[in-house]
Amino acid sequence: MAVQSFQDGVPALTDSVSSAGMQSIEGARPGSQKVVYDITRLVTRALNPSPNGIDRIDFALARHFLGASAKQNEALICTCLGLGLRLAPASVAAQTITDIETYWNEFIDPQADEVYEALVTALTKKEAQAPSAPRVKRGLRADIVIENWRAVRQWAFRPGRSVMDVPEGAIYFNASQFLLDKQWVLHWLDRRRDVKPVFFVHDLLPIDYPEFFRPAETAQHLIRMRNICRYGAGVIVGSQAVARRLQAFAAENGRPDMAICVARPPVSPAFEAPTAQDPRLDGINYFVVCGTIEPRKNHLMLLKLWRELASRGSPPKLVIVGKRGWLNENVLDLLNRSRPLRPCVIEAGGLSTPGLRRLMSGARALLMPSFAEGFGLPIAEAMAAKVPVIASDIEVFREIGGDALEYVDPLDGLGWLAAVEAYAKPDSARRREAIGRLAWAKLSRGRDFLARVDEFLTSVGRTQVR
C-alpha cells in the first residue's frame, strides 16, 4: 500500500475496521518492520479500574507488536528520576499488559463482576426501594492496588538499555500522544534521524473546542500536535473526519506532505460474540450512555431530559457508564441532588468489558449525544453487538454508522425526548426498524485493522531518512 498523504483530498475509506480488541486477534501477525512500541501510558493505567477508548486502542496495538509472534520488536518506557528513556524486551512488556488487563477484569464472567451485579440489583429495584440515585463503582482491593503500584515503580526504576540502542531504521510507534508535549521525551529523535516516528492521533478536539477541556489542555495539545508534525514520518487516525482536520493542521504547520492512514479503531471481541440477555433484566426498560462524564459528552442534556420523563410518570432507567471527569459540576449537582432522578438514573464506574457487553444486550438503545468526537468507540461496539444507537448528528458518527443509526442534533432536546420515548415503548416500531438497519451495517474484522496498520508502517519504513 502506498503511503497515503491525502494531498489530493481524503480518499474514501475502503478497509474500515470495527472489530478487534485487547485480546490477541486470530490471524493477525506483525509485519517484518522492526517496531519500538511506547508503553509509557499503558504502565500508568495499572492504577485505573477500567479502560477508556484510548486504552483499548493502545492495548490492541501493544498486543500486536509485543506479542509472542513479534519477537523482533521492543518496548520503550519513559522512566523517571533521571533514568530517561529505556528499552525493554517485548516479552516483559507483554506480561505487564496481560497483568493490567486481568486487573481490569477483561476476561471475567459478567456475573463475577461486582459492578455488573450491583447494576443488575439497582435496575431491578422498584421505585419505592430506590430512595437515592445509586452510584456503583468498583471497590479498591488493597492487595491489588499495592501490587500494581509496585509494578509501576518497578517500571519507573527499570534500568533497561539506552534508547540510543533502537535498531537501525526502526519504527517508533506512540499510539496515545502521552507526554508528546515534553521535549525531553522526544529529543532523542533529533539524534536518531534513521528512526521513523509514527503516531496515532485520536483527535484535535482540545484545539478546536477548548471550552470542553481544562484550560491547560488546549496549550498542551497544541504542543503535542506540533511535535507530531515536526517529528512524524506518518500518522494513523481512526476516521476520515480526523484525517481531514489533521491534514489542514499539518499544512498550517509546515507539513503538507504528512503521510496519514485512516484505520477504524478496534472493538473488543466480546462485542462480536453472541451474548444472551441477562434473564434478570427481561422486561426492564433502560438505556445506556457510555463515556467519561465531561461537558463534550452532553450528559447535562440527557439528565434534563430524564427529569422531564420522570415528571410524566414511569420513566425508563438511564445507566451512565464512565468515570467522573472534569468541568462537570452541573451534571454532578443533578446526579447528587435531583430528587426526580433518584429512582431512574444509575451511575456506574469500573464496569468490565464483558459486563458492559451484557448490559448493552438488554438496553433499549445506546445513547451518544456528544457535541464532538474523534471517533466514538461505544457506537462501534454497539453496532457489533447489534444494539440500536441514538446518536448525535455529527460528521464522525455519520461516518461510523452510515444509515444504521438514528441521528438527532445534539442541541435538539425535544428531538432526543421524542426518540427516547419512542424506543422505550415495548412494541416500538421505530426501534424495530433500527435493529433491522443494523443487519446491513458494514463491519470489518480486527485483523484487517492490524493489516492496514502493518502495511502503512512498512510503507513508512521504506521512506528516506528524515
Report CA dihedral (48, 54, 55, 56) to the nearest 10 degrees: 130
Same domain, 294 and 249: no
Residues 255 and 152 in one domain: yes
Task: Quote the domain boundaries for residue 183.
Answer: 35-104+143-266+446-461
Q: Are residues 358 and 217 in the same domain?
A: no
For residue 162, list its beta bridge partners.
86
What is the number of domains present in the chain?
2
The verdict on 234 and 88 lying in the same domain is: yes
The backbone torsions φ and ψ at residue 433, rounded to the nearest 5 degrees and listed phi first, read -65, -40
Q: What is the CATH number of the domain that holds 247?
A: 3.40.50
Residues 422 and 278 in one domain: yes
Return the pLDDT at 265.
87
- Domain annotation covers residue 19: no
Shared domain check, 410 and 322? yes
Q: Are residues 150 and 217 located together in one domain of the fold?
A: yes
Same-domain pairing of 256 and 340: no
Is 3 a member of any domain?
no
- Evaluate whether residue 47 is within a structural domain: yes
**Half-sphere exposure (Cβ direction) of 354: Cα atoms closer than 13 Å:** 18
Sign of CA dihedral 229, 235, 238, 244: positive
SS3 135: strand
Distance CA 300, CA 318 (A): 13
Cα gap 356→360, rounded to integer Å? 6
Domain-embedded: residue 29 = no
Q: In whole angstroms, how far apart are CA 153 and each of 43, 143, 177, 198, 449? A: 10, 15, 22, 27, 33
3-state helix/strand/coil string of 193-218:
CCCEEEEEECCCHHHHCHHHCCHHHH
Q: How many other CB atoms are there within 10 angstroms of residue 252's CB atom?
A: 11
Is residue 394 a part of any domain in this protein?
yes
Q: How far apart are CA 90 and CA 372, in angstroms?
A: 36
The verdict on 424 and 346 lying in the same domain is yes
According to the model, what pLDDT value does residue 7 have? Answer: 31
- Give domain status of residue 358, yes or no: yes
Q: Domain check: are 225 and 99 in the same one?
A: yes
Q: Which residues pair with 342 in a beta bridge?
A: none
Taking only the tens of pLDDT, the chain with its 466 residues reads 333 433 323 333 333 322 223 334 444 566 667 888 998 888 877 666 677 788 888 888 988 888 766 666 776 665 543 456 888 778 777 877 777 777 666 777 888 788 899 999 999 887 544 445 577 765 555 555 566 666 666 665 666 678 888 889 999 999 988 889 998 889 999 999 999 999 999 999 999 999 999 999 999 999 999 999 999 999 999 999 999 999 999 999 999 999 999 999 888 888 887 777 899 999 999 999 999 999 999 999 999 999 999 998 889 999 999 988 889 999 999 998 898 998 899 999 888 888 999 999 999 999 999 999 999 999 999 999 999 999 999 999 999 999 999 999 999 999 999 999 999 999 999 999 999 999 888 776 678 889 899 999 999 988 876 6
Task: Determine the Cα angle at 54 with ends 286 and 33, to 5°.
Answer: 140
CATH code at position 335: 3.40.50.2000
Q: What is the pTM of this model?
A: 0.86
Single-letter code of the amino acid located at 91: S
